[in-house]
Amino acid sequence: MAQREPLKIGVKAGVTFPNIHTSNDAIAYDGGGIKESDINTSFYFGATVNLPVGKNLSVQPGFSVSGKGTKVSYYSYLPNSPSSAIINLTYLELPANLVLVFPFKAGSFFVGLGPYVAYALSGTAKYTFSNTNIATQTKQAIEFGSTKNFKRFDLGGNALAGYTFGNGINIHSGISASAFKISNSSDTYLDARNLVFSAGLGYAL
């Protein structure tokens, strides 16, 4: 990740802790309003290119395949409406961060900040219906662009921090958030946005 040597390519992988933040207890799914949402743990992997632009300062574009989504429970007040759902979304994400390095002993601390654009590769929704005597489940593919589902593109910002050891291995954590709603409904109250915490390892090749 963040290195002092010119033009370093890095690889990274780790765990994501995503959720979908919603306003007014609403989200772009069928059924009643949301009772609560929870983290839906997933993973990411990708690569970066470190381009120095000054002393201890670099621009770091890259890409990652990142798992996002949420676990939600609903106020299931409608007949045949789901009581809970697990939403899995996979994005190809392209961040471009400005990274500042603080040399420390044999390695260096680093912090970064920048925008990202992401393209949804795939998604599934697994619904549980338990408003009858027998709980049932159904799984369906997310239809990106559908008025009941999500937009294909996501645009937002991210921040990162970590430590690079002298051997090129680094540990890092980060947070990213959508700048605009990802729900594709025209209803203004369906304001759903990705919010992701992450932690992982990287290595400069």
Confidence at residue 27, expressed as pLDDT on a 0 to 100 scale = 47
Confidence at residue 97, expressed as pLDDT on a 0 to 100 scale = 98
Query: Distance between alpha carbon 183 and the CA centroid of its chain, in Å?
Result: 15
**The amino acid at 5:** E
Burial (CB count within 10 angstroms: exposed 0-12, middle 13-18, buried 19+), residue 32: middle
Closest CA to 93 of 143, 154, 173: 154
Confidence at residue 137, expressed as pLDDT on a 0 to 100 scale = 78
Domains observed in the chain: 8-204 (2.40.160.20)
Q: From the first residue on, what is the mean pLDDT of each consecutive set of 10 residues in the chain (205 residues)?
A: 69 97 56 73 98 94 97 69 84 98 94 98 87 73 81 96 96 97 68 94 95
Alpha-carbon torsion, ordered 86, 87, 91, 93, to 10 deg:
-80
Strands (E), 75-191: 84-104, 107-129, 136-141, 153-164, 169-178
